[in-house]
């Protein structure tokens, strides 16, 4: 179990919110990771999308380099095939749901979008049920 740290969570949430607001104010785009990835693959407005995606691991590396995070403690609790399958399922769900947790959950909720409120409720319910099943009913 990872130690609970509300200050790190608060700081991370504030930075995510600041990034989403900056992106919306700066270029008028929603910071939905799945949409950014898909459109970067197909070459739509590629430079800013690639810069955004490069910043995701760069932030983690910066946190590790400054001592704000211990990257040696990171690991995957699932096998590589299970992780790949989960990633494909998330991508499929984001396509069907017209957005992902960052687009709907961060940006959509902030705009009080009814579609995003419904999507986020489905995401969170599914996540809670998945944790319950995997921790209490499986194996």
pLDDT, one tens digit per residue, over 4-50 is 678 878 988 898 899 899 999 999 998 988 889 888 988 888 999 99
pLDDT band at residue 118, thresholds of 50, 70 and 90?
A: very high
Q: Where are the domains of the chain?
A: 6-137
| Residue range 71-116, pLDDT digits in tens | 777 777 788 898 899 888 888 888 888 888 888 989 999 889 999 9
Say how far apart CA 88 and CA 113 lie, in whole Å: 26
- Please give the model's pTM, rounded to 2 decimal places: 0.74
Say how far apart CA 24 and CA 50 lie, in whole Å: 17
């Amino acid at each position: 179990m990872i130690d609970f740290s509300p200050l790190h969570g608060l700081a991370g949430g504030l930075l995510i919110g600041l990034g989403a607001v900056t992106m919306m104010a700066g270029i008028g785009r929603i910071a939905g990771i799945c949409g950014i990835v898909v459109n970067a693959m197909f070459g739509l407005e590629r430079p800013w999308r690639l810069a955004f995606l490069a910043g995701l691991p760069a932030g983690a590396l910066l946190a590790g380099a400054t001592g704000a995070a211990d990257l040696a403690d990171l690991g995957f609790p699932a096998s590589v095939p299970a992780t790949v399958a989960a990633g494909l399922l998330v991508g499929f769900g984001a396509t069907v749901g017209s957005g992902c947790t960052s687009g709907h959950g961060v940006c959509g909720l902030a705009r009080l979008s009814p579609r995003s409120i419904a999507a986020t409720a489905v995401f969170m319910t599914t996540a809670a049920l998945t944790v319950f099943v995997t921790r209490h009913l499986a194996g």
